[in-house]
Amino acid sequence: ATTPSYDLETEVIRKSDASSLSKQELRDATKQFLGHIQQKPPIFSAIKQKGKRLYEHARTGEQVNIQSREVIVHEFQITEINLPEVTFRIRCGKGTYIRSIANDFGEVLGVGGFLKSLCRTTIGNHTLDDSMSIDTFERNLKASS
């Protein structure tokens, strides 16, 4: 399926049957997204154009021409296939929109795609293991004041 925002923030606009896709087709499609690739950010993003964020243009129905830009994808690994859902792990450079990859991956496969959920596990030198819950953060903040 596809959505204008490439995730569940907007309604599904097109559905397709993905049941005939093979595991090999899915894995082969990931290869197109490795290395330096051109990526068009989603219209529902915070990138500014004409002095406004793209999502502001999108919400008013304004048409804008979004320029592709180069990003780098070091790894694109499918971790689970339960059609129509495909779970994957990506290791990428800054500025990469995973929502765009989900959309473009579905487009390459001819069935559409959008991001159902996202978990960022690493940013810079920080990992998910370094994180803390909001409750713990609030307790630490109160304890330090």
pLDDT at 138 over 80: yes
CA dist 26 and 86 (Å) reads: 9
pLDDT at 47 over 80: no
Comparing 125 with 57, which gets the higher pLDDT? 125
Q: To 5 degrees, how large is the angle CA 93–CA 99–CA 101?
A: 65
**Contacting residues for 47 by C-beta, under 8 A, at least 6 apart:** 41, 53, 54, 66
pLDDT winner (highest mean) among 47-51, 81-85, 141-145: 81-85
The half-sphere exposure of 30 on its side-chain side, counting CA atoms within 13 A, is: 19
Comparing 64 with 82, which gets the higher pLDDT? 82
For the chain, give the longest Cα–Cα distance.
Answer: 59
CA dist 91 and 78 (Å) reads: 12
55 falls in which pLDDT band (50, 70, 90)? confident
CA dist 108 and 141 (Å) reads: 47
Average pLDDT, the chain: 91
100 falls in which pLDDT band (50, 70, 90)? very high
Phi/psi at 4 (nearest 5 deg)? -60, -30
Q: Report the pLDDT value the prediction gives residue 42, as an integer from 0 to 100.
A: 79
- With tokens 């999108």, the residue in question is 58
pLDDT at 97 over 90: yes
pLDDT at 41 over 90: no
